[in-house]
Structure 1
Amino acid sequence: MHTLDAELDTARRIARQAGAILLEVYATPFAVQDKAGGMGPVTEADERANAFIVEALRTAFPSDGVVAEESDNSAGASRFERCWFVDPMDGTQEFVHRNGEFAIHIGLAMGGKPALGVVYRPVGDRLYWGVVGQGGFVEDATGRRALRVSDTTEPSSLRLVVSRSHRSRLTDAVAQRLGITHSQACGSVGLKCGLLAEAAADLYLHVSDKSYRWDNCAPEAVLRAAGGILTDLGGTPYSYDGAELQNHRGLLACNAAAFDRVAPVVAEFARESGILR
């Protein structure tokens, strides 16, 4: 079996180097532009990190596909058995607000399924990585620890992590139905999934269609490596075969123990609110 050690080492190195680029811009009075089509803010940091990561991956793995947020992705990732999904900065809002909760996502999909993920938070130098089926780790100033999701099964005991900049009524309604009373806010999708992977939270919902495969490929790989689950709001896993890049059906991330009790409730609310047709 292919261990993906070389891919993991390369992705970790590239993520740290890209993190240095983000921090370089972060320390300056950078300008913020609005992306075309209402896709949110973009800065020089996103664009510089994007160019660096894409070039580094193409050099290291010339026969793989690369899909990245700030690139032209019309070339058709579906032609590749192996495809990298890159978000050079997930949480640009957090970067703009200077709260530190932004991360670099580098994920590798093989045969349309997430295989490897690296999520790096430059502020605080915190690195999550995982290989699906082989486990994952988090590394920071205190050392390296194995990732493992919680085994909480009772929905009302679950700790919900919500978006810092996009809190939604639907999420609140689901939490109420499940009896959840504990929630915390966090920026990047990758950092939220990281909290689940290290058992510091148990459930995350993204209830809009405004996310893309590069947002969740690396986080999903890290979460699955830690024993968790990431699907759309209907409980169906996303495919990373390059045919569709937008997550039209939102995101549900959960520990495995509670998933079967949580997923039907989430799906019901998502259908009522029209996110699931």
Structure 2
Amino acid sequence: MRDLELLINAARDAGDIARGYFNASPEVWEKSGGQGPVTEADLHVNRQLEADLQAARPDYGWLSEETEDGDARLKTERQFIIDPIDGTRAFIEGSKDWAHSIAITENGKPVAAVIYLPMRDLMYAAEIGKGATCNNDPIFATNDKPIDTATVLSNKPNVDPKHWAGAVPPFKRTFRSSLAYRLALVAQGRFDAMLTLRPTWEWDVAAGALIVTEAGGIASDQKGGPALFNNPHPQINGMVAAGGIHSTLITALV
């Protein structure tokens, strides 16, 4: 079984688990250090993904939001980078905009990835050098356009003037709670860009970075540098992902 096929099957199985908890009052805990909530659905999905994926690829390293990290993954050639449920707050609130985000990386770069939204039955997928799809149909990021007609997925704090070298560009800002879903929507060309201008956990963006790139866009850190994964401390310096307006956004940022 190819890596991408393995990820697609695992994501669908994860969706079956998560749907069983959705709108069913799952138990919720607050993580230490202000890291947000986690539900019993996150933990169940994580256990199943780890069991299935590690059984299929025992030589791959493992990095997941819901598994205690160690340095064993740093000694492997390939790694799984997983967010069992990206958008846990949306999941708790009954929104459909949460996703399973699953990537495989090699030499710091994603090589296969899926983002699956079970409640919308949207399967975004990509394999390096082979393009990106949504439910098996090819998807493409948008071409260049005037910044004042662009629509950007971003938290409100990212449009604070302190982040911008001059005036905040006059794009239209909108929002989705899942970073993975934001990246998928950019890859699909439904939005022109997404921004997150703070240290960003790898599991939130590893899969989406490949899907955007394979859709013809660019996914970089907030300075325009490469987004590299499987770091000893698994964070990158924010992310800017876009089609044709990527360079315009990077130039405008501090």
TM-score normalised by the shorter chain: which range applies?
over 0.9
Kept in 2, the 8 Å contact 1:76–1:242? The answer is: no
Cα contact 1:67–1:73 (8 A) shared by 2 = yes
Letter of the 1:262 partner, please give it. L
Letter in 1 for 2:146: E
* Cα distance in 1, alignment partners of residues 184 and 76 from structure 2: 28
1:74 is paired with a residue whose SS is: coil
Is 1:9 the counterpart of 2:5? The answer is yes
TM-score by length of 2: 0.93
Unpaired runs of 5+ residues, structure 2, are: none
User: Are the equivalent residues in 2 in contact too, given 1:160–1:202 (CA < 8 A)?
Assistant: yes
Which residue identity is paired with 2:173?
A: S
Name 1:135's counterpart in structure 2.
131
Aligned counterparts, 1:241-256, within 5 A:
241-247=230-236, 249-255=237-243
Alignment of 1:67-78 (within 5 A): 67-78=63-74
Q: 1:244 Cα shift? A: 2.6
**Correspondence list, 1:99-248, <5 A:** 99-139=95-135, 144-163=136-155, 167-168=156-157, 170-171=158-159, 173=161, 177-180=168-171, 182-209=172-199, 211-247=200-236
Deviation at 1:137?
0.6
d(CA) in 1 for partners of 2:110, 2:28: 32
In structure 1, what is the Cα distance between the partners aligned to 2:13 and 2:70?
27
Offset of residue 27 of structure 1 = 3.7
Aligned to 1:272: none
Retained in 1: the 8 A contact 2:105–2:112? yes
Gaps of 5+ in 1: 269-277
Measure the CA separation in 1 of the matches of 2:20 and 2:57.
27
Letter matched to residue 137 of structure 1: T
For the 8 Å contact 2:60–2:73, the answer to whether it is kept is no
Per-residue CA deviations over 1:234-269 (Å, capped at 9, x if unaligned) read 11122213323023x2221111x2222221212x1x
**Identity within the alignment, %:** 25
Task: Report whether the alignment pairs 1:263 with 2:253.
Answer: no
Distance 1:112 1:28 in 2: 38
How big is each residue's C-alpha offset from its partner over 1:57-77, in whole Å with a ceiling of 9 and x where there is no partner? 101111111111100111332
Secondary structure of residue in 2 paired with 1:178: coil
* Alpha-carbon separation, structure 2, partners of 1:153 and 1:261: 10
Question: How far apart in 2 are the matches of 1:29 and 1:191?
Answer: 23
- The alpha carbon displacement at 1:176 in A equals 5.8
Task: Answer whether contact 1:119 1:218 (CA < 8 A) is retained.
Answer: yes
Which whole-Å CA distance do the structure 2 matches of 1:76 and 1:38 have between them?
A: 26
Distance 1:23 1:176, change over 3 A: farther
What number of residue pairs does the alignment pair up? 251
